[in-house]
Every structure is written in structure tokens, then in C-alpha cells.
Structure 1
Amino acid sequence: MISINKIIQKIAIGCVMTLLVQTSVFAQTTTQPKWWFGISGGANVNFYEGTTQRLNSSLIVPAAFHKGDGVKPFGSFLIEYRPGNVWGGLLNLGYDGRGGKFYDVIAPCDCPATLKTNTSYLTIEPSLRFSPGGGNFYMFAGPRVGINLEKDFSYTQLKQPNTDAEFSEMRKTVISGQAGIGYDIQVSPASSTTKFVISPFVSYHPYFGQDVRSIESWSVSTVRAGIALKLGKGKKVVREETTTVAPVAPTADVSFAVRAPKTILMKRVVSETLPLLNYVFFDEGTAEIPSRYVVLSKEQAQNFKEVQLQEEQSATLTGRSARQLNVYYNVLNIIGDRMRSNPQAKITLSGASLKGADEGKLFASNMKTYLVDVFQIDPSRIAINGRIKPLVPSEQPGGNKELALLRAGDRRVDIQSTSPELMMEVGGGMMKPVQMNTTQSDPMDSHVVFNVDKAENVLSAYSIDLTDESGKVQHFGPFTKNQESIPGKTILGDKTSGDYKVVLSGTTKSGAAIRKEGAVHLAIQEEQVENGLRHSILFNFNKSTTVATYRQFLENVVAPLIADGSTVIIHGHTDIIGTEDYNTKLSDRRARQAQQILEASLTKAGKSNVKFETSGLGEAEDKSPFDNNTPEERFYNRTVIIDIVSYK
């Protein structure tokens, strides 16, 4: 027996492939017709269900027939009405073959018996037509009215005469339904008012309403595939512009702008809110807590306080920050201190390992043992479980690239809690962050930013030369991105100020040379600016939309800290998993979503004098907050960092 699902899949796939390879490349220089007329033809693949045994008043066969199938022709005259690009209607009037052959049965005399049918109908099929987005692809659905034309059958049985006759008790009219999809391929010239369209289609006619006879239970389901030919009459239109679907070669011209900082800051004291990953990652081949995590003795734990981690240390803004990682590597001690200070708080440790849930549970058990033995936490306050994959895995079904890095990030223990003393709904059940005071060197707003619009589309590469008053030239590049930045202190070197001529030199993808010029003044401010604020949000693997889960945090915590006249610097980062181009776009999307949420909040609060400097830096190693050697570093690199600066 042929599976109806397999047949539907084959027909649908075939039609979709046909539609995909057909694209319209004609510019619209005339209006599309509202009325279309034409013909259609195709094949009905019919499937029989139910029972038939009394063929007519004079013939009751000894063995009942139950299932069958067959292919018969379909043809129709059609009319379509399309008042707009999206909605419309269509009507088919035609011949509808529903014949086929029942599967052979064995009569009581041990004689094979066959039954073939040649039923057909005059079909009337009005449908509602819907074209998503107003394109060539459309869907249709509506009722079907069938008026019986033929009801012949042919019955054969071994050792008996053949019988060719007509079924009795046939329903003169059947009312059922149908739904399908199609694609209009325009083959007439775009300038012609007479439009000619070829439209492949496929539809499904379910069994309900298709009881063939008023006796017994024989019913028919049909999959129809075919092609319609349509003609319509449009009208000439006058347009000043020319529209084409073919790719347009980008212009060779690009715009070039240089954004220089007001002053170049050598240092900034920043009050930073550092989010804590609620994960502890385990190494392959061992269930012991990795040595990179800070493990205390009982005596050391008695004196440990989370506030100790807020002490001032130096860290760079654009380089790797051992300071932040050191705070994170104290995550077990932070949990122990918070649970010790809040006796009502409880946690669940959920361990995950591809080697099995038992090893995942062992990860969690070792963490629990540490908290119980060292911080004297009541074991009843810590629940543990094991899993094969973590609650939010990095490895996705069907993925086959960089699996070693992804699986290293999935070999971990998730720390879960509903206690507000431990967790903060900053997104994804993130742990309550740690407040830090940090002196940062070379902040991002001390960089000179070069914006080269269309560079990625137009240029194969470009370089930037900076010439000072004495004629000394500094060369940077080659670059390919739309935006690049260079630290101001790198350009100045030993000088405290300087004026520079800026020259961009590049080559277009067609091989043509391009040159743009500008100028910039730079000056260093030696004293520290002590009113910087920093917040970070973290993302799960490949998730830019996770920023929506931080909306409340951005609106209620970050936005109120932004004063009129401030500058908000937002930069997005990713880890090294994935292509460089994809990661650049992903980080930019993350950063700009955060900006949009903050801008909306500031507008609602009546703050309009705020400047945003937003960019996506992707996986750029010279700008990423951390290395990418461990899962912790890669997770922390999936971030958007928000700096709020109020200049004195």
C-alpha cells in the first residue's frame, strides 16, 4: 500500500523545487490584471478507504473491498479575481477523475477478485486566494461541489464471468473541501499589457464529505498536482524610475567620516556591575572542581566576604580582564557567603555531561560537598540532579561545526534558585551581580573612529594614513569593515596633542582606486574621570534576541542612571565560534537592540540630550573582553557592554 503521507511529501517537494527554480526577472511597467482567465490540467492521485461490497442491486460480491488507489486526469476552465496583491478569489469548473483500483481480495472459493472504478465528476471549486507579502507564491482554500458524471466499474473473479456495469446508490452530488498552494511564473514581457502566467500548483482534498455512495462507507481522499495557464489584461503606467529584480552593482563611491574624542583619557575609575554566570564548567575526564576555580579551606571561608572582591584593581577596557575572571572564579565562595548570610535561601545544582546523567550528577555532588564542608551549609538546602545536556545547551540538533568548543560549554553545572538574595532577574535566571570599582586604561571613548559607509559592499580593502604637522606618516590597515577604531594614545604616541591629515586609500571590488581625505585634532587629558558607570549583559550561544529578557533591567536599572548630557557607549562582542562576518553582524544586532530599549526609556523619561556610540565588534581579538581558551571566557565574550560617561 502506498503511504498517503509519502505521496503528499513527494508531490509537495517536487512542486516546491519547481517553484524555487522559477523567478520573475521582469520589471513592472504595466499594472497587473484584476481578472484572469485560463485552463488547468493535472493528475488526481486518489486513495480509497472504507468498505464496498454491494456493487448494485443485482451484484453482491462474496468478499468486501476496503482500500485502493489510482491516478486519473483533472482539467478545468478557471477564473481569478485579484483586486489587490494579497487577497483574491478563484473558481475552477471542470472534469474531475476519481477512479482507481481497489486492492485485490480473495473470495471464499479461494478465488482472486479485482474491482476497478471509473467514477468522475463535474467539479465546481470556488476558493479564497491569499498571497503572503503580495508575491508570486499563493495559497488557496474553499469548498468543492462534485456532480457525478460516470459511475462505471469492472469486477473480475477467477472462475466467474467478468462484470462491467454501473454502481447503484451513487450520490449525485458530493460537497467537500480542498486547500493548496501555487506559484505564478510570468512569461510575458514586462511591457506587455497582455499578461500570460504559468502556475504550477498542488492541492489536497480530504476524505470528509466524499462518501461516494449513499450505502456502505466508501470514501475518497485526493492529492492533485498540475499546471494552470492564465491570461489577463493590464494597463500601461508611466513611471519615472526603472525597477528591476536583478542585483544592482553598488556605486563605487563611499562616504568617509572621522569621529574623534573630545579628549583622550588615559584612565577612568569605573563603578562596574559585573554579571555572574550561574555556571561552573568541568574539564573532560574528571569530575573534580577545576583548579582555576578558587577553593578555600574552612578557616579561609570563615573570613571570606563577597565585598572583598570589590577592592580596586587595574583592568583595561578593551583588553583581557583577569580581574573580572578572578571574581567569577570565586563563584562557589560567593554562593557560600550568600547562603551563609541568608539562611532561608536554597539552590538546585543541575549537572550535565554527554557521558551520562550520572556524571552530571557527580559534578553537582562535588560542588554540594564543597559548600557543605567548607561553608557549613545545611545539605537540605542544596538539591542536585544530573542531565545529559544542560538546561540551555550550546550544541544544537543537527549542528556539526566546532562541536568540541560547544560541548565544552555544555559540560557544566547550572546554579538555580528562586531566592532574590542569590539571583537577579537580569535575564535567564542570572545570578545577582557583583559591584566592582575598577580603574580602566584606554577607554573606548578615547578611540578615533573611522566610518566608511558601504565599505563591506563596495571595497575589497582600504588603508588609513595619518600625517602630523611634521610630515610623519602612520599607516593602519588593511581594513574591510564599515567601521574601524584606533586608540587615540596609539596615534599620539609621546605627544600630548596633535593635528592630523587623514587619508583613506582603497580599491573597489571592480579594481578601481578610491581616495578620501579628512582631518582630526587629538589631545590627552591626564586626570582621571571618576564618574563612569558600566553594566554588562550576557547571552546564550547564538542568541541576539536574548536582550529582550533584559528589557526590565535596562529600563528600570540602567536607564535611570543616564543623565542628560551623558554619552552612552555600547559595544557588542561574541566568542570565536562561527564565521567572523556572522559574528560581527550578531554582535552589532545585540548592541543596537540594547540601544533601542534605552532610547525608548529615555524618551519616556524626557531625556533627549544623550549621545549614543554603538558598534558591534564581533570576535575581534584585539577588542574582545576576554580570551577564548576556556568555556568561561567564551561565555563572557558573548556580551553587550554599556558604559555611561558624564564629562566634566
Structure 2
Amino acid sequence: MHGKIRLIVLVVMIVMTLSDVLAQLQPVVSTRWGALLGGNFNMAGIGWAQWVNDPKRPGGQFGSKVYNDGQGGGLYGGLSFQTAITDALHFGMRAMYDNRSLLATDESYRKGDGVQSAEAATYYSDDYRFTMSYVAFEPHLKFYLGDNLHLTTGVGLGASIQQKFDYTPEESTEQKDLDVARTGTVKHALTASGFAGAGYDIFLSDPAASTQWILTPFVEASYMVGQRGTNFADQNAFNDGMSTVSIRGGVSLAFGSAPAVMPAAEAPYSPTPTPTPAPMPGKLFRATEPREGVYAKRIERADFPLRPYVFFDRGSADIPDRYVKLTRDQARGFANTASTTPIDVSDVEQRPKVQRNVYYNILNYMGWRLTSNPGASVELYASDPDGRSARAMAESVQKYLVDVWGVRPEQLKITTGDPEPRSGTARSSSARLADENRRVQFRAMQPDRLGARVMVTSVRPAEMEHQMLVDLSAVPNLSSWGARIEGNGTSRSFGPFTQATAYLDPTGLLQPNQRSGKFTLSVNATTRDGQTRTESEQLTLVRTDQESTSLRHRLNFEFNEEDPVARSKNFLLTDVIPAVRNGSRVNIYGHTDEIGKANLELSMKRADQVMEMMKQELSARGVRNVKFTSNAVGEDEPLFENDTPEGRMYNRTVVIDIIP
């Protein structure tokens, strides 16, 4: 009695433990490597053939038509690989040792005269012990019915290792180690098979672990044909020689990285556009969780263009205090970081300050580059709309470079004239345009690399890497919609949106030390006839330990310039486009200053022109599955302040983010 109670308690504890394990959040492991071990229960269909030379068994053996001539067992084990094609469809490959050994019995000869007869009689019972083993290569597909349960189907190609048998006849001479095919007949060194079955993934690791171990019990049925050729002309079926049906079971142990590297949620750009999957009929929306997980940060390497201008205040030839001016001793320290500037930027809002710091060191970058390149020279071209201080402004710049950086005066040629290019149009504010045209320009640089971009390495929170796609394309007459994500003691609202699809950024919903969490996504939609509809669904966010990386490029425009190709095409072709690989994500943002009208349309036009040019060039180079987004920011999200001429100059730009 006590033993039964202990057994019941043990079973309950095991069930509770397994339930707890299976209830955990399942990480995404799309690519796996592993090993399988199992066993085959083999059932043979032995075809009528000249299996042995035995005068007591003339005319061939296994003449009786039976479905199962015998059975046996064998080992099934080897290595496996699996990778995701979609969420529910995975492709796999196995390299296996496949043993199809068995014991078959032939009872087709009647005792006495060796002639078959339908009359009641006794028959010889002859044993054939087959030793059959193969190395099998098995491509297959797995169809997941959820996070764990899956169906498997595939084919196999087996290369023979051993094909022998022992013949033990009743009342006749035993023969051992016979070849499956006699001399003059065909023994197939390669066999074909098909199989189907089911399995269940059990995740053994903590859901937050970067490396996941998965145990998968499985059961399958396999049908191998063509294990031996035929002897008789009327045998033309694919299984007339010898075939084996095997019921196999076993377990596989695989490992892989989580989160997996899978295609991002949004529909990729390709020469043939891929449509976004529509929500299921009757469902308000479809949400795709970030399959790569929620990144903690991104390492961004940005090239920052040094606009070759120093702007001056009206009525003064002194270099404004907003420009960084060093002493000779400080200049020697600056030289250690002038070629590349690593800066830790944990706050996205601080990035404009980093950019300003680079530009306001333009005098020091030019001083360092002029002294680092023997024979280098540059023209200091000064313009002043008031016509009074142009030369004095250029002399101030020259004096600083000579006194602080030791640049020789003959390296710095001074010229004056009207601004080239000139900012503004007849509709522009005269005061602000005068500020933009009161400047000293570095031009005629020898060598050209004096004006090279500055590389800035930044560490900042990841955003675009893990955006979630929400799709309401199945809602007819959609007017607008909004979304809200709640859970973990926090909430965030998105929208309103007027387009059917949008990307939501879950950054910050997980606490800094939290590995995963469950949230509720609620979507409220309004149709053009005024009806509203609200639906919610659960989603799971999992943090990844991996760091995202990205490249950032900027294309600057002169005032009211719309065409980026004429002046920026070479830079796009040589520096930007080669960094885009198959499956990369490219986000393009168009910015403008606050001067002039229709800034949003202008910034959208600039961003679209850059995107279209990149698409055409990438298609010509054979780069596929690049995911593009193009956004018009206009003057609403300036990169710099708009109250300075240099700020407005830098705000006339297109930003290109490349996430490989």
C-alpha cells in the first residue's frame, strides 16, 4: 500500500515538473545542430528471387505472396541539422546510420517433392537472417503545429554498408555470409526511402539563455525500397526485389542560439515585392513579435560629414565662441582622436550634441589634417553679405590654424567674393540668409581627403532592430487606428495611424534586468462610417544578449536642393551601397530646416529619391531581400537647432541607417 502511494506521488511530481518546464516561454531557435539515437522495428517484404543455390529449393524462393516475411530490429542514429523557412515550416537534413536487419522465413516449398501446392500439406520453414545497414542522407520538412509539436516528412538516399544474409534451411545445408544478390544479379548499392512521423520539442535550457538545448522524442514510419534487383522478367514493380517497412522511435538532442537570426517581420524589398501576410478572416489585426528578440543596445558607426564652413556673427571678424578653440598643448592631445572619435552615447537625445561637437571642432580637424599631410593646402574663401568683414574673417581662421596648429601661411590661400553656393531664394528671410552666407569656406583642398568625413562610434539603445509589425489590411474602409501595449507595470500607446500597417517599437517595456515578459497588445480601429472595433492579444517579449550593429550615413543638401544623385551619387555607389548585404535593413529619413514651405513634402521627396536609387543599384548588383523604410521627418525632428546657420545647414539632410 505504501509503495503504491509513493509511486503515485512520484508520478504527480514528474507531471508537475514537466508541466512547469513546458509552460515556460519558449525561445526562438531557428537553426539547430544535434544528434539522434533511436531504433528500427523492421518488417520485410522479400521478393520472389533466386536467393540461394539449393537443389531442394528450385525455381526461386519466397514465392508465396505475404505482406510480412519477417521482422527484426536495428539501430538508427546520427547527426542532424534544422533551420527555419517560416515560423511553421522548417527544413532539415540528417546523416544517419540506418540498420534494417531482420529474420525472414520462407515457407513456399512443400515437403516431399519440393513443388508448391494449394493442398493442405506441411512446408519447409527456411530462415534467412539478413544483416542490412546503410549510411542514409535524409532531407526533410517539419510542419510545426505550435511551439513544440511538429509533423515530419522526408526522403532518404541510402548507401550500402553491408548487405549479407545467413541461410538456415530446414532439412538442408546451412549457408552463411551470403551476398544479398547472387553473381549475375543486381545488388543495389543505393536505395531510396520515404518517411513520415511526429515529434515534440522540449526546451531544456532557461528561456533567457543564449544557447538553447532541445530534447525531441519522435516516432516515424519509413519505407525503403530497391534493396535488391529482380531475377524474373515479369517483376517490374519498384518493390519486387526487396523492401522494408520500419517503425522507428527515438530522441534527438540539439542545440542552437536564441534568439535566432531570422528574416525580420516586415515584408522585404526585392525585385518582385512580397506581400505582407493578411490577418485571418474575422480577426481585426495580425501582430508579429520581434523574432530576433529585444536588443539592449546598438553599436552604431556613423560617418559624419564635415561641412567646410565657419560661420561668423554679423559685424564681427572674430571666430564665434561656439567653435572649439584649443591651445597648442591641447592641440597635441586632440591629434590622438582626430581620425576617429569613439563616444559612448546611451541616450538617443544626446546624439545631436555629439554631432555638434564634431562640427564645432572643424578648425581643429582641418588643422590636424593640414599638418598630417605634407604638401597639403586649402583655399579660405570668405563672403560677407554686408561687404565689410570678408577678408578679416578669413584672416582670423588663418591665424588660428597658424598659431595653434603650426600650419604654414602659404598652405592657406585667402580669397573673397560672393558666397558659392548661395543659400536662400527671394522668399527667404533676409536676416537668416545673410547669416548663412556670412562665412569662410574651406575649398580647393589638396588632397581631397582634407574634407573627409569623421567616423563616430556610438553606443545607444536599439530601436528599429526589433520593431513589431501590426497589420490591419483585412479591415474594410479603415479610417484610423491606434495601439496600446500593457504589462510588466508599464504601458505605451502608438498612433493614430491611417495606413493599414505600422511598426511599433517595444524598447523600454522590459526592465533592464528582465529577460522576458508577457504583454497585452490592444488595437482600436475606426472605419470611415464611424464604427469602432477593439481587439487584444497576448504577446511575449524576450531580451537578447546580442548587440545590434549598424552603419549611418548622411547626405547633405544645399538650400532648396532636391536631387541627391547629382552630388551624392558617387558616395552612394562607393561607400553606402557596398555595405548593404542580402537581408539587410535600410531605413531612410528625410530632414529639412525650418526655412521655406512644404518641408515635409521636400524631405519625403529626398528620402524617396535616395531609396529608389539604392533599390535600382542593389537589384543590378544581385542583392536581394533588403528591407527598406522611407520616412519624411521634415522640420519636426531636427538633427541640430534651427537658430544657427550651421544647424539649418546640417538639418538639410537625408540619413541612411543600414542594419546588416
Relative to the length of structure 1, the TM-score reads 0.51
Deviation of 1:270 (Å): 1.6
Indicate yes or no: 2:384 matched with 1:353: yes
Once the two structures are superposed, residues 114-155 of structure 1 have per-residue CA deviations (whole angstroms, 9 ceiling, x without a partner) of xxxxxxxxxxxxxxxxxxxxxxxxxxxxxxxxxxxxxxxxxx
CA distance in structure 1 between the aligned counterparts of 2:471 and 2:438, rounded to whole angstroms = 41
2:345 counterpart letter in structure 1:
S
- Taking structure 1 as reference, are residues 482 and 432 closer, same or farther at Cα in structure 2, changes over 3 Å only? farther
Question: Residue 399 of structure 2: which of 369, 374, 393 is its match?
Answer: 369
Instruction: Specify every segment of 5 or more residues in structure 1 that has no aligned partner in the other structure, as ranges.
Output: 1-254, 424-430
- Taking structure 1 as reference, are residues 467 and 533 closer, same or farther at Cα in structure 2, changes over 3 Å only? closer
* Structure 2 contact 285–470 (Cα < 8 Å) conserved: yes
Once the two structures are superposed, residues 373-394 of structure 1 have per-residue CA deviations (whole angstroms, 9 ceiling, x without a partner) of 2112121221222335x21222
* Structure 2 contact 346–461 (Cα < 8 Å) conserved: yes
- Taking structure 1 as reference, are residues 416 and 336 closer, same or farther at Cα in structure 2, changes over 3 Å only? same
Aligned to 1:638: 652
Question: Residue 643 of structure 2: which of 611, 629, 634 is its match?
Answer: 629
Secondary structure of the structure 2 residue equivalent to 1:537: strand
> Alignment identity in percent?
33
CA distance in structure 2 between the aligned counterparts of 1:486 and 1:628, rounded to whole angstroms = 29
Q: Which has the larger radius of gyration?
A: 2
* Structure 1 contact 281–411 (Cα < 8 Å) conserved: yes
1:353 counterpart letter in structure 2:
D
Indicate yes or no: 2:612 matched with 1:584: no
1:204-603 superposed matches below 5 A: 261-262=290-291, 263-305=293-335, 307-308=337-338, 309-314=340-345, 316-317=347-348, 320-356=351-387, 358-388=388-418, 390-396=419-425, 398-400=426-428, 402-423=429-450, 431-448=451-468, 464-468=482-486, 474-476=492-494, 487-490=505-508, 496-505=516-525, 512=530, 521=539, 523=541, 525-579=543-597, 582-603=598-619
Q: Which moved more, 1:569-578 or 1:443-452?
A: 443-452
1:416 counterpart letter in structure 2:
R
Deviation of 1:339 (Å): 0.7
- Taking structure 1 as reference, are residues 521 and 347 closer, same or farther at Cα in structure 2, changes over 3 Å only? farther
Once the two structures are superposed, residues 576-631 of structure 1 have per-residue CA deviations (whole angstroms, 9 ceiling, x without a partner) of 2234xx2222222212211222222222222112222222222223xx43333322
Aligned to 1:617: 633
Deviation of 1:411 (Å): 2.1
- Taking structure 1 as reference, are residues 628 and 328 closer, same or farther at Cα in structure 2, changes over 3 Å only? same
CA distance in structure 2 between the aligned counterparts of 1:345 and 1:468, rounded to whole angstroms = 60
CA distance in structure 2 between the aligned counterparts of 1:645 and 1:507, rounded to whole angstroms = 36
- Taking structure 1 as reference, are residues 522 and 364 closer, same or farther at Cα in structure 2, changes over 3 Å only? farther
* Structure 2 contact 302–456 (Cα < 8 Å) conserved: yes
* Structure 1 contact 575–628 (Cα < 8 Å) conserved: yes
1:631 counterpart letter in structure 2:
P
Secondary structure of the structure 2 residue equivalent to 1:417: strand
Q: Which moved more, 1:568-577 or 1:369-378?
A: 568-577
Q: Which moved more, 1:260-269 or 1:362-371?
A: 260-269
Once the two structures are superposed, residues 57-91 of structure 1 have per-residue CA deviations (whole angstroms, 9 ceiling, x without a partner) of xxxxxxxxxxxxxxxxxxxxxxxxxxxxxxxxxxx
Secondary structure of the structure 1 residue equivalent to 2:395: helix
CA RMSD of aligned residues (A): 3.5
Once the two structures are superposed, residues 147-186 of structure 1 have per-residue CA deviations (whole angstroms, 9 ceiling, x without a partner) of xxxxxxxxxxxxxxxxxxxxxxxxxxxxxxxxxxxxxxxx
Deviation of 1:369 (Å): 1.0
- Taking structure 1 as reference, are residues 354 and 258 closer, same or farther at Cα in structure 2, changes over 3 Å only? farther
1:441 counterpart letter in structure 2:
P
* Structure 1 contact 492–522 (Cα < 8 Å) conserved: no
Number of aligned residues: 371
Deviation of 1:466 (Å): 1.3
CA distance in structure 2 between the aligned counterparts of 1:413 and 1:515, rounded to whole angstroms = 60
CA distance in structure 2 between the aligned counterparts of 1:321 and 1:483, rounded to whole angstroms = 30
2:436 counterpart letter in structure 1:
G
CA distance in structure 1 between the aligned counterparts of 2:487 and 2:342, rounded to whole angstroms = 44
- Taking structure 1 as reference, are residues 407 and 524 closer, same or farther at Cα in structure 2, changes over 3 Å only? farther
* Structure 1 contact 499–521 (Cα < 8 Å) conserved: yes
Deviation of 1:439 (Å): 0.7
Aligned to 1:605: 621
CA distance in structure 1 between the aligned counterparts of 2:546 and 2:342, rounded to whole angstroms = 18
- Taking structure 1 as reference, are residues 306 and 588 closer, same or farther at Cα in structure 2, changes over 3 Å only? farther
